[in-house]
Structure 1
Amino acid sequence: MDVFVYGTLTEPDRVAEVLDSFVFVGSATLTGFRLVEGRYPTLAPGGETAGRLLRTDSVDALDAYERVDDGLYRRVAVPLDAPDGHPPEAAVYVGDPDPLDADATWPSAGSGSGFAEQVDRHLTKEGVRVRLTPEDPV
């Protein structure tokens, strides 16, 4: 699976602490989300975020690292703009700003809507995408 990473998971040493097997595919840009700092980095609606595309089969280990089962982060699928041979989507981890103490405002999806619904609504309305950044020719 290809995963768009930003923050701590862009550092090879950190990734090696979490995953036994991985490869960085290349630089990538996430459109439709901007980086916000908190206890841990997360994303908020709007803008762009630079990061890397990581390939691994160890999604369970990433989910545990991002504390998906605890609701700290949520893994979502986003269309991937990349050359042939790449999957059509990349996973992206979006953190809940409240427990992360992050300054992120999400538009409400309606009365009583939670974080998951707000993320889903943003994904469908805003054309969020990951773009593999071509390497500069030498």
Structure 2
Amino acid sequence: MDVFVYGTLTAPDQVARVVDSYAFVGPARLHGLHIVEGRYPTLAPGGRAAGRLLRTDDLERLDAHGGVDSGLYVRVSLPLIDGGEVAVYVGDPDRLDADADWPGRGPFADRVRGYLADADVSVEPLVDR
């Protein structure tokens, strides 16, 4: 599966600490969300974000790295402009001390998924895969 990465996981040495097998597919641009710095980078509604497409079958280890079970990050699927889907991790700005706001009420993961269901958010590979 391809994963849009935009923070610490854009560095090969960091990815190698998390997963056993991976490949960087190439640069990509996320439309509809932008990067917000905090304790770790996260995403917020609006704008664009530069990153890379990371290919790995080890989403369980990426989930563990991102604290998905504890709600620190939520993994969502977004459409690729050229077809298919890509996974993206969005961190809870409150827990990451990041200046970002996700609209809606309820748990963070529900607000992210609700926003993405209504917004025009997609990932554009910047090279042929």
TM-score by length of 2: 0.94
**1:113 and 2:109 aligned:** no
Q: How does 1:41-120 map to 2 (within 5 A)?
A: 41-82=41-82, 88-108=84-104, 112-120=105-113
Cα deviation per residue 1:84-125 (whole Å; 9 max; x = unaligned)? xxx7100000001111010001122xxx42212211121111
Amino acid of the structure 2 residue aligned with 1:88: G
| Distance (Å, rounded) in 2 between the aligned partners of 1:75 and 1:36 | 17
Given that 2:71 and 2:109 are in contact with CA atoms closer than 8 Å, whether structure 1 keeps it comes out as no
Cα deviation per residue 1:57-109 (whole Å; 9 max; x = unaligned)? 11111001001011100000000123xxxx7100000001111010001122x
Query: Unaligned 5+ residue runs, structure 2?
Result: none
| Distance (Å, rounded) in 2 between the aligned partners of 1:4 and 1:107 | 22
| Distance (Å, rounded) in 1 between the aligned partners of 2:106 and 2:22 | 36
Which has more radius of gyration?
A: 1
**1:133 and 2:103 aligned:** no
TM-score by length of 1: 0.89
Given that 2:76 and 2:87 are in contact with CA atoms closer than 8 Å, whether structure 1 keeps it comes out as yes
Cα RMSD for the two superposed structures? 1.2
How many pairs align? 128
Amino acid of the structure 1 residue aligned with 2:24: F
| Distance (Å, rounded) in 2 between the aligned partners of 1:101 and 1:77 | 24
| Distance (Å, rounded) in 2 between the aligned partners of 1:21 and 1:81 | 26
Moved over 6 A (4+): none
